[in-house]
Amino acid sequence: MTDLGTSETFNPWSVVNLVFHHLAEQGLHPVLGEAGHPAEAASDLLRALGIAPGPDTAGPAAPGVQETLADLRRQMLPGVE
């Protein structure tokens, strides 16, 4: 809660993205979906930190995000486009 009494929200997929990148930068090889829905765990983490999970909005990501994801796919899944 903020000082004004309103709850803060954050998109769980942003947490997934941040953690995925951090793990990859540390030389680890994270995968998505094989051990469950990662946004659910991210939502639980946000709640534990006192932040409400934001809505899971549909639709395409911003162009910069799409480019970053395409780069990750090329790195992690060579030959798959």
Domain ranges of the chain: 9-76
Mean pLDDT of 6-21: 86
* Of 58 and 20, more confident: 20
The reply to whether the predicted model has a pTM over 0.75 is: no
CA–CA separation, 24 vs 33, rounded Å? 16
Residue 38 has pLDDT above 60, yes or no: yes
Contact predicate 12/56, CB 8 Å:
yes
At 15-33, the pLDDT tens digits run: 898 999 999 999 999 888 7
| Consecutive H or E run containing 69 | helix 63-76
